[in-house]
């Protein structure tokens, strides 16, 4: 549309023109003084002032000046800055002339505004605490995806705990520019000197990610955590529980009793274990799934009648759905857990093991770890963790006692890296049955062996048990 001399009355009455299909379409009404000023009216009737210009390189730009405001003065809210500022025709012309002067001096008003916004944002990210808060928020809304996929809630929760416990108390108040490689080395070495092992390296990884995010946001240009060697030596756990240990643990879980000594010299306390937690521990031993997968089990994931549990991708460490065939004893325990979950509730919880604070969600995974630690103490078993149950079952299945191939054991555990010699694309897209028959046979064989070890079942046929021996 050709430029014309706009008036306040014309601008107030301006409406979008009809497009080729007869519907209203966004329409620009250029002003002839200054050249470049336009009143743009959207199809919905929203009016915005813009300024069109060319840079020295010949690129055409459009700068939004503010929203239209009727009247002859600067209008209500004229103290607002940026694109949301209400502007009358007179005020819009004044801003357009200011922008024109910048262009004639070789500047780029749109680029300068963008830099000003970035500088203002950087001022709000002054300390490491500011960076950490913004980083976590970016992860929560799915904006920051370093591996190309959204971070799981559990991962974000774990990172938040690491930052809160180990990082913020030491460097949280420091300005971003003050944090150097030497600063981070002192932080990590301090953790090692306090006997903190694997968490030191995890802390290093989280801090590195925070600074990687800051670089992507142009808040800083360097990552002081990059290139640092791991401070703590890590060796994979190899603890496998013996038959006697399994029997003792199972007995206490089924019929809680005994006393727990938290520290040497402390007063013993009675072991308390609710039945839902006990069932979750039993299922951890029978199904060999991770603690967060068992604790977060949902009704919608279960097909109890057909003995199947499908864990969705968002709850799996590998980011892929995982089918867990349910052997008979596991089905019985799940039915019991569902009955307990419904007691005293008008509306059934969607979780099989409802959490105390929010019954709509599952119990906290660390509740299972703490419960297992108490059970182990009550049994007098040293150095055992909940994850050792998973390793113990996997070792037994792969041994001559059960004879399951390592590849099927890997499928039972929900590992995604092992392809058994097949192309990764084949397993990702075409192995839709997910080795369900093989996994069912493996878990049923492990259940038979475990129940024999703990004394709930006579020796299963075709399974050799080494009594009292370590698996």
Give the pairing type, strands 269-270 and 259-260.
antiparallel
Q: What percent of the residues of the chain are helix, what percent strand, and what percent coil, each to the nearest 5?
A: 45, 10, 40
Coil, strand, or helix at residue 40?
Answer: strand
Predicted confidence at residue 122, as pLDDT, reads 55
Q: Look-up: residue for tokens 């670089």?
A: 215
Q: Are 109 and 99 in contact (CB under 8 A)?
A: yes
- The length of the chain in residues reads 471
Q: What is each CA distance from 209 to 118, 131, 421, in whole angstroms? A: 21, 11, 33
Q: Are 48 and 64 in contact (CB under 8 A)?
A: yes
- For residue range 110-148, what is the model confidence (pLDDT) as tens digits? 888 887 666 656 567 789 999 999 999 999 888 888 877
- CA–CA gap between residue 180 and residue 157 (Å, rounded): 26
- What is the b/e burial string over 298-310, where b = at least 16 CB atoms within 10 angstroms of the residue's CB? beebbeeeebbbe
What residues in the chain have per-residue pLDDT under 70?
72-84, 116-123, 235, 264-265, 416-434, 458-471
Helix axes 436-453, 406-413, angle to 10 degrees: 90
- CA–CA gap between residue 363 and residue 66 (Å, rounded): 50
Predicted confidence at residue 232, as pLDDT, reads 81
Q: Is the pTM of this model over 0.85?
A: no
Q: Are 6 and 39 in contact (CB under 8 A)?
A: yes
Coil, strand, or helix at residue 18?
Answer: strand
E strand residue ranges, 254-377: 259-260, 269-270, 302-303, 308-311, 322-325
Predicted confidence at residue 431, as pLDDT, reads 47
CA dihedral 154, 157, 159, 160 (to 10 degrees): 180
Q: Are 253 and 278 in contact (CB under 8 A)?
A: yes
Q: Look-up: residue for tokens 């200011």?
A: 98
The alpha-helical segments, DSSP class H, found in 14-146 are 89-104, 109-124, 128-140
Tokens standing for residue 336: 């019991």
Predicted confidence at residue 120, as pLDDT, reads 53
- CA–CA gap between residue 293 and residue 412 (Å, rounded): 13
Domains of the chain in start order, with CATH, are: 8-119 (3.30.160.390), 125-216 (1.10.150.130), 243-453 (1.10.443.10)
- For residue range 330-341, what is the model confidence (pLDDT) as tens digits? 999 999 999 999
């Amino acid at each position: 549309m050709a430029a014309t001399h706009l008036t306040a009355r014309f601008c107030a009455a301006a409406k979008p023109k009809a497009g080729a299909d007869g519907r209203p379409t966004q329409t620009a009404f250029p002003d002839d003084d200054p050249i470049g000023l336009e009143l743009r009216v959207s199809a919905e009737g929203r009016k915005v002032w813009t300024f069109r210009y060319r840079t020295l390189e010949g690129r055409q730009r459009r700068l939004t000046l503010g929203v239209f405001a009727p009247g002859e003065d600067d209008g209500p809210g004229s103290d607002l800055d940026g694109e949301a500022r209400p502007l009358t025709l007179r005020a819009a012309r004044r801003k357009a002339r200011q922008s024109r002067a910048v262009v004639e001096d070789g500047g780029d008003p749109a680029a300068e505004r963008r830099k000003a916004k970035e500088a203002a944002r950087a001022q709000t990210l002054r300390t490491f605490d500011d960076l950490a808060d913004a980083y976590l928020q970016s992860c929560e809304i799915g904006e920051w995806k370093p591996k190309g996929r959204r971070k799981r809630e559990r991962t974000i929760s774990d990172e938040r705990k690491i930052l809160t416990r180990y990082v913020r108390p030491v460097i949280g108040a420091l300005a971003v520019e003050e944090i150097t490689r030497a600063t981070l080395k002192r932080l990590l070495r301090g953790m090692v000197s306090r006997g903190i092992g694997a968490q030191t390296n995890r802390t290093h990884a989280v801090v590195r990610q925070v600074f990687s995010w800051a670089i992507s946001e142009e808040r800083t240009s360097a990552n002081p955590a990059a290139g640092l060697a791991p401070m703590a030596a890590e060796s994979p756990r190899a603890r496998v529980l013996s038959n006697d240990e399994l029997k003792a643990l199972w007995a206490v879980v089924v019929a809680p009793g005994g006393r727990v000594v938290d520290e040497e010299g402390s007063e013993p306390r009675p072991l308390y274990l609710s039945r839902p937690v006990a069932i979750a521990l039993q299922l951890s031993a029978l199904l060999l799934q991770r603690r967060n997968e068992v604790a977060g089990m949902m009704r919608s994931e279960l097909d109890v009648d057909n003995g199947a549990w499908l864990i969705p991708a968002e709850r799996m460490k590998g980011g892929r759905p995982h089918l867990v065939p349910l052997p008979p004893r596991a089905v019985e325990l799940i039915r019991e857990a569902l009955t307990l979950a419904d007691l005293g509730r008008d509306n059934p919880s969607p979780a099989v093991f409802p959490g105390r604070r929010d019954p709509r969600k599952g119990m906290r995974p660390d509740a299972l770890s703490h419960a297992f630690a108490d059970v182990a103490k009550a049994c007098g078993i040293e150095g055992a963790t909940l994850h050792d149950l998973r390793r113990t079952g996997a070792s037994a299945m792969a041994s001559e006692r059960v004879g399951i191939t390592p590849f099927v054991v890997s499928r039972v555990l929900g590992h995604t890296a092992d392809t058994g010699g097949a192309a990764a694309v084949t397993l990702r897209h075409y192995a839709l049955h997910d080795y369900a028959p093989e996994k069912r046979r493996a878990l049923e064989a492990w259940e038979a062996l475990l129940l024999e070890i703990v004394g709930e079942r006579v020796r299963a046929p075709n399974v050799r048990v080494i009594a009292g021996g370590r698996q």
